Structure 1
Amino acid sequence: MALTDTAIRNAKPKEKPYKVTDSLGLYLLVNPRGGKLWRIKYRINGSERKLSVGAYPDITLSEASARVMQPAGNYPGLSCSSLSRYVAVVSSLTTSLWLSSNV
């Protein structure tokens, strides 16, 4: 299910940090002290990596989603050799999501 701004505003702090997920690896990490941080989870060569995008409300849902679709060259955690693999993964995910919703 796609994340909405209402769901983000209604995400209240709990005893432990928890994730509110969107799609393509984007999620909002809600901390016990009330902080809400955008993160992107991705894999390179089978190794899971996480990239911090920014804090909500400084970075809105649409801005965070747009950053997921940016060219991978803008991410400091990615090397040039893994750039094409990352783009291929994001492209295939986008295509499969589109096909599943339109077929």
Structure 2
Amino acid sequence: MARKSLTDMAARNAKGKEKSYKLSAGSGLYLLVMPNGSRYWRMKYSFAGKEKLLSIGVYPEITLKEAVEQRAAWPSRHICRRHTSALGRCRKAS
């Protein structure tokens, strides 16, 4: 069965529950809905075998379309700039 992708309508209608929950938008991008109703864009990725988390912004200031564009524009060279401990490895690879 194919998984449904997150729509703007679903993001707009997401309400807080007793616990925080995630609405997946695909490729590691998801909308984190907090108990108080606030919604945050997050992206999971891995670096050097460890899972990392990138905060993209707050919904609705960052729309679904903008969040997907930011996810697509996140190449590995940005990870090298962000993680200073890996700079030596990134320079060697370049």
Shorter chain as denominator, the TM-score bin is: 0.7 to 0.9
Q: How far off its partner does 1:45 sit?
A: 2.2
The letter of the residue matching 1:77 is R
d(CA) in 2 for partners of 1:47, 1:7: 30
State whether structure 2 residue 76 is matched by structure 1 residue 77: no
**From 24, 40, 44, the counterpart of 2:43:** 40
Structure 1 unaligned segments of length 5 or more: list them: 85-103
Rg larger for: 2
After the TM superposition, which of the residue ranges 66-75 and 26-35 deviates more from structure 2?
Answer: 66-75
**Alpha-carbon RMSD:** 2.1
Larger fraction in strand: 2
**Superposition pairs for residues 22-61 of structure 1, below 5 Å?**
22-61=25-64
Q: What TM-score does the superposition give when structure 2 sets the normalisation length?
A: 0.77
Give the C-alpha shift of residue 11 in structure 1.
1.1
Any conservation in 2 of the 1:51–1:77 contact (CA below 8 Å)?
A: no
Structure 1's 47 and 64: CA in aligned 2 closer, same or farther, altered over 3 A? Answer: same
TM-score by length of 1: 0.71
Q: Which runs of 5+ in 2 are unaligned?
A: none
